[in-house]
Amino acid sequence: MILRYKVSHSQRLALCRAQARFHSTSLHFYQNRQLETYAAKEAQRLSLRQLVFYGRCMSEERLIKNANYVRTELPVRIAHRIRDLQALPYVVVMQEGVTKVYELYWSAFEKYTYLPSAMNSDLTSANLLTRLRRFPRIETLEENERFCTFLQGLLDEHAVVIPNLSLGLTLTSQHLPPDQLDAFMRRMLVSRISRRVLAEHHIALSDSVSSRNRVTSGEDGHVGIIYTGLNVEKSVRRCTALLHQLTHDSEDPWPSGWPGVIIEGHVHAQFAYIKEHLEYIVFELLKNAMQATVTKYGKKSDLPAILVTLVAAPDCIGMRISDQGGGLLSPYIRSPSDLFSFSHVRNASRLEQDRLGPLRTVCASPTGMRATVEELVQRWKDDWPRADDESYMQNNPERKSGVGHRPRLGIGLALCNIFARYFGGSLELVSLDGWGTDVYLRLPKLGTNLEGSEV
């Protein structure tokens, strides 16, 4: 089933505007020598274990060495993705969201920029500092501080990347075969996670060195952004509590409560992992399970609980999340794995207005989209229309009964899959149509897998 997507007049206008904007950046195509040099280099992929081992015995000297690794590694990883963007069909790269991402990456790689004013006062030679590729070698802790501020600026600026990419690629989905589109999105997202991990880990290591002014030892349970003894049950409970709290906080006509969550199995399971990644996945999966259950049963006080089974296997942490929300059967979805796809051919719901609308809002928001569960909760609250928002309720009559879905960006599951596979894990959806869904998450415990090859 191939659905054709018709380009409306206003979209054509937007395309023309994007073309005009893109024309001004097309000069880049003639200034590509530096880009080629960087894109020809291989990324130095790391494992979780390497990140922990290096960070555990941190000293000033090692911190500076790490800073220079991050400084030289990020432009290589960005250059690979800029080349990918340049290889897209013209009509795709012209799409507004895609052009925005291209400009952000190009600017991060190459363009000159002023440092934030807080830092300007420290700089003597020139207030003008350069982007990643041109960032000067870091020799001192003070220079590292500037580098961290610079990295944090990039992290904030790039918060809009995922919704823009997702919107752009959805709107031009008919120009790319599904395999090509999904492979492209996978490379973009894996690479983005990898760059953010490097940047955030380095900032966290720097914080611990400067705040303690001595080596960081991981006494408080983490090395940089990696929790060395991450308690899985605690993370499941935290995500459950945040979701339950949402129903109490909101003014919407939601049913009296959401299903409870029962945790069984190896409830003391612990492993070294990035807490934000685990909790992003668990939050999204529990949210889907709760939504499906509420949608199926409506306003009932004794909704069937969601069962979370934890397993600490020798080499991985396993988690099964079972709900009784009726399964994944829908006119749009032929196979559960289609839910991981960005193509409208595999998942026609990508073109639904109630996905595109919220996606556009997030694209326009200066804070874009982050990956901590608190930020997910906040965005969810912000997105949820009030019960007295008549126009919204008229367009979405199912909300009046309080059993409809909250607005969806529609990329949560696809992102969970990318997060799960990033260090070699897996995510599998099994639909028992008419009854419920079982989700199987496996995350490697030993930390020896390298980051995904797409970095």
Return residues touching ligand COI (CB under 6 A). 74, 108, 151, 154-155, 158, 161, 192, 195-196, 199
Contact between 43 and 192 under an 8 Å Cβ cutoff? The reply is no
> Which residue, 188 or 328, has its beta carbon nearer to ligand COI?
188
**Closest residue by beta carbon to ligand COI:** 158
Residue type, 155: L
Token output for 99: 């052009």
**Alpha-carbon span 144 to 299, nearest angstrom:** 55
Strand 261-265 to strand 306-312: parallel, antiparallel, or no bridges (unpaired)?
A: parallel
Smallest distance from ligand COI to CB 455, Å: 11
Smallest distance from ligand COI to CB 342, Å: 17
- The dihedral built from the CA positions of residue 268, 273, 274 and 278, taken in this order, carries a sign that is negative
Smallest distance from ligand COI to CB 387, Å: 36
**Alpha-carbon span 407 to 358, nearest angstrom:** 7
Smallest distance from ligand COI to CB 110, Å: 12
> Which residue, 199 or 246, has its beta carbon nearer to ligand COI?
199
> Which residue, 154 or 209, has its beta carbon nearer to ligand COI?
154
* Cα 391 to Cα 188, 355, 394, distances in angstroms: 36, 17, 5
Token output for 179: 């395999």
Q: What angle do CA 301, 306, 310 make, to 5 degrees?
A: 155
Smallest distance from ligand COI to CB 379, Å: 17
> Which residue, 52 or 154, has its beta carbon nearer to ligand COI?
154
> Which residue, 338 or 454, has its beta carbon nearer to ligand COI?
454
**Alpha-carbon span 60 to 205, nearest angstrom:** 10
Smallest distance from ligand COI to CB 105, Å: 7
Write 176-185 long-range contacts (CB < 8 A, 24+): 176/88, 176/89, 176/92, 176/343, 178/341, 178/343, 178/345, 178/346, 181/341, 181/342, 181/343, 182/340, 182/341, 182/342, 182/343, 182/346, 184/84, 184/88, 185/342, 185/414
Please state whether 290 falls in left (phi above 0), alpha (psi between -120 and 50) or beta.
alpha
> Which residue, 158 or 346, has its beta carbon nearer to ligand COI?
158
Contact between 284 and 413 under an 8 Å Cβ cutoff? The reply is yes
> Which residue, 108 or 129, has its beta carbon nearer to ligand COI?
108
Smallest distance from ligand COI to CB 232, Å: 27
Smallest distance from ligand COI to CB 241, Å: 28
> Which residue, 43 or 339, has its beta carbon nearer to ligand COI?
43
Smallest distance from ligand COI to CB 202, Å: 10
As beta bridge partners, residue 430 has 438
> Which residue, 184 or 332, has its beta carbon nearer to ligand COI?
184
Token output for 25: 């950046």
